[in-house]
Structure 1
Amino acid sequence: MTVMKSVPEAAYGILLRNQCDSALDEAVEQVRNLGYAVLNSGYSDIELQAISDQFDSARERYVDAYGEAKLRSIDEYHSVRSPLTHGGGVFLNLAMNGNLLSVLKKLIPGKFILNQQNCVINPPQENYNQGAWHRDLPYQHFVSTQPIAINALFCVDDFTSENGATFVLPASHKAEAFPSAAYVRKNAVQLEAEAGSFLLLDCMLFHAGGFNRSQSVRRAVNHVYNIPYFKQQINIPNNMQGADLSPEMKEILGFDYMEPASIADYLLTREAKKY
């Protein structure tokens, strides 16, 4: 039996209070406070089916291109790297989702770029490399007053407790050290979400994929957006030269933040900033 909580609404002695006027604002507030939120992408059933179909096609081409044996030998068989550069426009559109960008603009002060986009597969009845606790800026033990990077994990399939939905440690983006085993057992939360949702995580939040006890794969497309001071996982601009992109797309994909190859190139970027 589900027990409904009766949450007090009245308050006193409060001088400052956040104001939320939309579901997007609520997601922003929760990410800031707890480090995670579930966001509706706004896609229709037809659009979700197209993403699902393109996911499977991109994965098939990827395995054909690089070889199953090689991918398994380097623990890369359950990933598809940078699908927006080779998997069709659906992945570019996913990275530019309107609801997602609206939230990112509220969470990350100033400019941000796409650091990486990867298809992720949680196989049934099998351990995989995302099933360990980690931050999406790994090996880092600092905290910041504002988010410097946000993980947006798009659910291609429903995320359930049975198929290994992501576990998070609420508010762990505010603590430098990884907590004790006892703390993890008591405080870990598993995030169930419908297909078409984004799981938004502050990249300093500790999280882990769950074990998939079902008989089917659980598919997702992971995105990391960060302030433009981090090197991209794979150089996106060099792999999308000639693509028909808007100025905003180019900025988010990192075209405006490529390292100058020479002093002359650097001086050209300085000249461009004058206009």
Structure 2
Amino acid sequence: MENIFDYHQANLKDFDEAFSKYGWLVYENALSDEFVEEINNSLEDAYLLRRQIQKENGIDLDMAGTLHHLLEPDNFGFKLIEKLYCDEQMRHFLKGNYILNAIGGVINVKDARPYVQNVHRDIRSFTGDLKMMIQMMIILDDFTEDNGATYLLSGSHKADIRPDDLSFYSQADRALAKKGSIILFDSHLWHAAGKNYTDKPRRALTLSYTLPFFKQQLDYPRFLGYEFGETLPEGLRQVIGYNARVPANLYEYYQPPHRRMYKQGQG
């Protein structure tokens, strides 16, 4: 296919052509082996914490291997976000500033049947040429047909039509990507995680980025604390969503421009 590129040689012409034709692309050699290993070493403890909450709330049956909201002050999440991978492409796609909508992960193991294996797209409403969200996958193990490489239905981002499962699996491409790669795809694209038939996990991070006025899946600034945000560099504050907050009372609302919670340039 014509949508696999080296991350360090990426350009917007290739991005536009691949997204127009396929709705997705692969950037190889994006993350170092050392960083991938650091992330993988952190996932098990992060999963155990989230798995316990899933079980306590009775929603664990179809969430096996899924981790949500991995942005915490003392884990790899900040280091990942701060690197601003594919910043140029996402600004180009969303036509300006953007924020993190969600950062999660999947540990795909043999015989698991999590909800991400259902055919789905990651934005509920079809907005056509108005692009509001873009997806990023960080590949933490080589994606193969045997271990559950994601199915992506190329071209399906262009119309508001959910394919039936038979048509989807007969026509979809597989994201056969190397460890350390990044996959970007239009959030309108229909896709599904594959089944893992091997005895080793197939791990990946899944991130969504949106226009700043789009509601985050978790209120990261409130979760992390407003005072904590004051310690962050401006680029990281922007992406985490500190410049697109919603006032909670009149005192927060009536502020001069430089102290407003929803800053200029957020759409």
Q: State TM-score, norm by structure 2.
A: 0.84
Q: Provide Cα deviations, 1:81-130, integer angstroms capped at 9, x if missing partner.
A: 211126x3421222333442232122210111000001212121222210
Please tell me whether the aligned partners of residues 130 and 209 of structure 1 are also in contact (alpha carbons under 8 angstroms): yes
1:188-207 equivalences in 2 (<5 Å): 188-207=172-191
Aligned counterpart, 1:33: 21
Q: Provide Cα deviations, 1:15-66, integer angstroms capped at 9, x if missing partner.
A: xxxxxx94243234312432111123532222221111122332244446x3
CA distance in 1, matches of 2:41, 2:92: 32
Residues matched between the structures, number:
252
CA distance in 2, matches of 1:117, 1:52: 15
Residue aligned with 1:205, SS: coil
CA distance in 2, matches of 1:185, 1:224: 24
CA distance in 1, matches of 2:186, 2:99: 15
Residue aligned with 2:117, SS: coil
Unaligned runs of 5+ in 1: 8-20
CA distance in 1, matches of 2:144, 2:247: 45
Aligned counterpart, 2:106: 120
Aligned counterpart, 1:162: 146
CA distance in 1, matches of 2:168, 2:107: 24
Aligned counterpart, 1:108: 94
Say which one has the larger Rg.
1
| Pair 1:128–1:159, CA change in 2 (3 A) | same
Please tell me whether the aligned partners of residues 95 and 223 of structure 1 are also in contact (alpha carbons under 8 angstroms): no
CA distance in 2, matches of 1:159, 1:103: 23
Fraction of identical pairs, as percent: 25
| Pair 1:74–1:215, CA change in 2 (3 A) | closer
CA distance in 1, matches of 2:255, 2:139: 42
Query: Aligned pair 1:149/2:137, yes or no?
Result: no
CA distance in 1, matches of 2:163, 2:60: 32
Please tell me whether the aligned partners of residues 62 and 113 of structure 2 are also in contact (alpha carbons under 8 angstroms): no
Query: Aligned pair 1:59/2:47, yes or no?
Result: yes
Q: Structure 2 residue aligned with 1:84, among 53, 63, 71?
A: 71
Q: State TM-score, norm by structure 1.
A: 0.81
Please tell me whether the aligned partners of residues 131 and 208 of structure 1 are also in contact (alpha carbons under 8 angstroms): yes
Deviation at 1:76, TM superposition (A): 3.4
1:172-183 equivalences in 2 (<5 Å): 172-181=156-165, 183=167
Residue aligned with 2:41, SS: helix
| Pair 1:180–1:114, CA change in 2 (3 A) | same
Deviation at 1:151, TM superposition (A): 0.7
Q: Structure 2 residue aligned with 1:44, among 17, 29, 32?
A: 32
CA distance in 2, matches of 1:268, 1:116: 28
Residue identity matched to 1:95: I
| Pair 1:246–1:41, CA change in 2 (3 A) | farther
CA distance in 1, matches of 2:58, 2:144: 27
Unaligned runs of 5+ in 2: 3-7
Residue identity matched to 1:175: A
Residue identity matched to 2:45: S
Deviation at 1:246, TM superposition (A): 0.7
Residue aligned with 1:161, SS: coil
Aligned counterpart, 1:10: none
Residue identity matched to 1:196: G
Aligned counterpart, 1:187: 171
| Pair 1:102–1:40, CA change in 2 (3 A) | farther
How large is the Cα RMSD of the aligned pairs? Answer: 2.6
